[in-house]
Structure 1
Amino acid sequence: MTDVRETSWADGTELIDEVAHDEEEPFSTVVVTPSIQGWTLVVGPYFGLPYAQQTMHVTELCRELSAHFGKAQLFFHSEQNDGEAWLIAERGRIIRRWISEYPELAAGEPFGVERRLLDGYGIAGKPEDLDPKGDLAGDWAATWGDCWATTVAEESSIDPTAAAAETGSISGMLVAAAPLFE
């Protein structure tokens, strides 16, 4: 990463919101937290799985990071109901990738909270295997079965939306420019 500088949690959050919604902000801008409950969060739309042009790049990056660090995860949650996405990798392999906007790009098997919620909806297989025109798929897609990325994150690692509140004022936050994907 380049152009590294310190920031506060509030300023970093505001900056990432600007990057996501303002075409003049560099898309490669990310905010990096110090360790929170053993996880270092790197936040920004740069890692957005729902951006189809980035999906393969961020999948490979997450896989590589998991090979180096043991685990790596990506999450996308939209409070405007634009979709949900997560990518969980361990020891260099993708465990699960789900992108509500692109079910055809799913990989791996649902597990944990995703599996339990699917079972609760009566979906024995994977959501990506449902007939998109069927009632069951429509019921699931109407609210993503209440299976939000923040819920998956909380069970798999930490929910970043709750972690910040629990830790109070976080010092040592950084803003940086991530390398552009080729």
Structure 2
Amino acid sequence: MTTLRLTRPTPVTFAEAEAIIDEDGHGEADGNPDGLARVYVSPEVDGWTLVIGWWCDPCDGAQGDGSAWLIAERGAVLRRYCATGEAGDDLFTLGEPLPLERARREELGLSPAWDEAARGDEAEDEWKSAAFHLAPEIATALGTSPLTLTAETRVRGTGVLALTPHPTSAEAGPVA
């Protein structure tokens, strides 16, 4: 919470957070028309803390359109990648490809190293199509994915909805 400069945590369940974040992502929340004012910070889930919400989007893509991942450790970004199919996705790329990215490219018969700015090459288009759906698999490979939580998942603590440092946060009203 401190590292991300989040404030006003309000306890909520995963189900409540999902509904609120979905509402925010569609610009339906009063005082939060761009969906950037609030995020859900999960309880510790199998040793991980998930931060979910429109504000966390590493590439400013439209909801439901592609995949994006941001991998950070101790506050430092290790990898950021965006696969929305939009021109400029390459501008969001930071860090070296993850082992899973390299392996998937090799499965496709592609070089594990590539120039993200390359466009129009049929083989690279095949990679972009595969990457379009890769984020949940990367989350699972690195630790845990919000899409794979079960009743057996180890959970410690309480999830909260919190205000982001985004300028509209002060106007977002109650967080729950």
Query: Same fold by TM (over 0.5)?
Result: yes
Superposed, 1:93-132 pairs within 5 Å as 93-101=76-84, 102-129=89-116, 131-132=118-119
8 Å contact from structure 2 (residues 9, 162) kept in 1:
yes
The answer to whether the 8 A contact 2:103-2:112 is kept is no
Describe the shift of the 1:165–1:127 C-alpha distance in structure 2 as closer, same or farther (beyond 3 A). farther
Deviation digits for residues 65-113 of structure 1 (CA, Å, limit 9, x no counterpart): xxxxxxxxxxx9x6x3x11111223355432211113123212221221
151-160 or 92-101: which moved more?
92-101
**Structure 2 gaps, min length 5:** 1-5, 168-176
State the distance in 2 between where 1:90 and 1:115 align: 20
Are the structure 2 counterparts of residues 103 and 171 from structure 1 closer, same or farther at C-alpha, using a change threshold of 3 Å?
same
5 Å matches for 1:146-161?
148-161=134-147
Contact kept in structure 2, 1:16 and 1:30, CA below 8 Å? yes
The normalised TM-score by structure 1 is 0.71
Aligned-CA RMSD value: 2.9
More helix by share: 1
Q: What is aligned with 2:67?
A: 84
Q: Say whether the 8 Å CA contact 2:67–2:132 is kept in structure 1.
A: no
Give me the whole-angstrom Cα distance separating, in 2, the residues matched to 1:132 and 1:90.
Answer: 31
What is the TM-score with the length of structure 2 in the denominator? 0.73
Per-residue deviation, 1:133: 0.7
Query: Does the aligned pair in 1 maintain the 2:45–2:155 contact within 8 Å?
Result: no
Aligned residue type for 2:41: V
Number of residue pairs matched? Answer: 155
Which piece of structure 1 moves more, 108-117 or 120-129? Answer: 120-129
